[in-house]
Amino acid sequence: MNAFAPNPTNETFVLNLGPQHPATHGVLRIKLVMDGEYVVEAEPVLGYIHRMHEKMGENRTWAQFMPNTGRMDYLHALAYNHNFACIVERAAGIEVPERAEFIRVITSELNRISSHLLWFGAFILDLGGFSPLLYAFDDREQILDLLETVTGSRLTYCYFRFGGVYNDIDENFEAGARAFVARMRERMPMYHALVTKNIILMKRLTDIGHVPAEMCRKYGATGPVARGAGIDFDVRKHEPFSIYPRFDFDIPVYHEADSMARYMVRMDEIEQSLRIIEQALGAMPEGPVMAEKVPKTLKPPKGDYYHAVETARGSFGIRAVSDGTNTPWRLKLRTPSYSNLIVFGEAARGMLLPDALALLGSLDLVIPEIDR
């Protein structure tokens, strides 16, 4: 599996990777037991940015928890907004106007592309290439500018509301989104020529960092990590929510299970997201963006609810238990990066340090989402 089989000696040492390390993108700490440059054991140590989002949810009204959702996964905040809006709508039985659903899908998919672009840049940065990061940021900037014109923020969005969205989009946004789709389609071949087909990158990713399907199932890894291992699962397709079933898009699945497969899944997903945005822009209906009958103080009926969405990193599920009051009785957040990270401990065993870090980068971790 790995390029070299480790040759065990007794002279191991512990290497503390993080919590402040350039490759961990935040405050993740990984305790590595190393034999020379080989990783004998890897143990992720979590909790450096734990903020008790779940507990906070129990002390706030349903609506007041909305800004928290944008702060867990700051790279794909709108999917988190979306999930929380969806679960409360499901619980309280709120019908969302069609136009609002379209706006949600478009903005969320734009946000997914921006997340993948940042991951792409940061991943290549992990591998030592600096320029692709700034090319990706150039494109990402267009998305952020676009989303800023409708949501008012650039990163931690709080745009969706129970029963719709905060405010309507205008022609400028539609034109901008169309222009972005065209621009991104033009840029993708450049990324592939500069990075994907580069022999150095191919040598670093192909056949390295195996996370096979069994391991994904064992640890509950989802998203591009599982799809790179050949598991055809995407919440948008297999547990459809919102209006995703209306769009024609593919779920990119690769069977190699190596770092390259995960890389390719994400690159292909950018193209699929562009397809969804294009179709949604074409079919955008007129109408209100907010449901009419949303009670001021929301008290969802007693019950146990679950809803999941597909974020850029995998399946994000919320289990909400309502006791009929205006605050949730329990909010359980199942975040994808957490499960994806735990894979690292087993997958990195026997790898060389640079390959292990490439594997870590290919998991696309967002630390505040792991610790939440």
Partner 1 sequence: MTAYFKEIISGTWSLFVGLGITIVYFFKPVVTLQYPHETLPMTPRYRGHIDLVWDEVRGTNKCIVCNGCMKACPSNCITLAGEKAEGGKGKVLTQYTLDFTKCSLCGLCVEVCPTEALDFSKEYNLAGFDEKDYVFDLLKRLEAKHS
Partner 2 sequence: MFFIDAELIRLLAFVLGVIGFVALNAAYLVWLERKEAGHIQRRIGPKEVGPFGLLQPLADALKLMTKNLITPDGVDPILFKIAPILVMVPAIMSFVTLPFSDTLVARNLDVGLLAVFAFASINVLGLLLGAWGSRNKYAVISAARVVSQNVAYEIPMLVIIVTLVMITGTLNLHEIVTLQTGGFWHWNVLKFSASPLMPVAFIIFFICMLAETNRAPFDMAEAESELVAGAFTEYPGMGFGVFFMGEYANIVVGTSLATILFLGGWDCPLGLFPGVHWFLIKMYALIFVVIWIRWTYPRTTFYGLLNLSWKILIPVAFFNLILTSAMLKVF
Q: Which stretch binds partner 2 (CB under 8 A): 14-22, 231-239, 295-303, 338-346?
A: 14-22
Which of 102, 119, 162, 166 touches partner 1 (CB under 8 A)?
166
Q: From the list partner 2, partner 1, none, which binds 193 (C-beta under 5 to 8 Å, kind-based)? A: partner 1
Q: From the list partner 2, partner 1, none, which binds 232 (C-beta under 5 to 8 Å, kind-based)? A: none
Q: What is the DSSP letter of 76?
A: S
122: its two tokens: 């940061």
Write down the least CB distance from residue 352 to partner 2, Å: 7
Tell me the C-alpha distance between 3 and 73, whole Å.
34
Tell me the C-alpha distance between 210 and 216, whole Å.
11
Identify the bridge partners of residue 311 per DSSP, sorted by sequence position. 314
Q: What angle do CA 99, 104, 105 make, to 5 degrees?
A: 100
Write down the least CB distance from residue 257 to partner 1, Å: 22
Q: By CB under 8 A, is residue 131 in contact with partner 2?
A: yes
Q: Which is nearer to partner 1, 138 or 323 (CB)?
A: 138
Q: Which is nearer to partner 1, 135 or 219 (CB)?
A: 135
- Phi, psi of 274, rounded to the nearest 5 degrees: -60, -40
Q: Which is nearer to partner 1, 142 or 259 (CB)?
A: 142
* String of contacts with partner 1 for each residue 42-61, x by CB under 8 A: ------------------x-
Please tell me the total number of residues recorded for the chain in this structure: 372
Contact indicator for 241, 307 with CB cutoff of 8 Å? yes
Tell me the C-alpha distance between 357 and 39, whole Å.
11
Q: By CB under 8 A, is residue 193 in contact with partner 1?
A: yes
Which of 129, 220, 230, 345 touches partner 2 (CB under 8 A)?
129
Write down the least CB distance from residue 67 to partner 1, Å: 4
Q: From the list partner 1, partner 2, none, which binds 85 (C-beta under 5 to 8 Å, kind-based)? A: none
Tell me the C-alpha distance between 320 and 333, whole Å.
9
Alpha-helical regions (H) of the chain: 53-58, 66-69, 77-92, 98-126, 131-151, 171-191, 199-205, 213-219, 224-227, 235-238, 259-282, 336-347, 353-362, 367-371
Q: By CB under 8 A, is residue 194 in contact with partner 1?
A: yes
Q: From the list partner 1, partner 2, none, which binds 311 (C-beta under 5 to 8 Å, kind-based)? A: none
Which of 63, 155, 194, 251 touches partner 2 (CB under 8 A)?
194
Which of 40, 201, 261, 270 touches partner 2 (CB under 8 A)?
201
Which of 51, 55, 197, 217 touches partner 1 (CB under 8 A)?
197
Q: By CB under 8 A, is residue 243 in contact with partner 1?
A: no
Which of 35, 37, 41, 168 touches partner 2 (CB under 8 A)?
37
**Count residues contacting partner 1 (CB under 8 A)?**
31
Residue whose entry in the numeric block shows the structure tokens 């190596």: 258
Q: By CB under 8 A, is residue 107 in contact with partner 1?
A: no
- Under DSSP, is residue 38 helix (H, G, I), strand (E, B) or coil? strand
Cα→Cα distances 370→145, 147, 220, 301, 336, Å: 27, 25, 14, 30, 8
State yes or no: cis peptide before 67, omega within 30 of 0: no
Per CB under 8 A, residues contacting partner 1 are 60, 63-68, 71, 131, 135, 138, 148-153, 156, 158, 161, 166-167, 190, 193-195, 197-200, 202
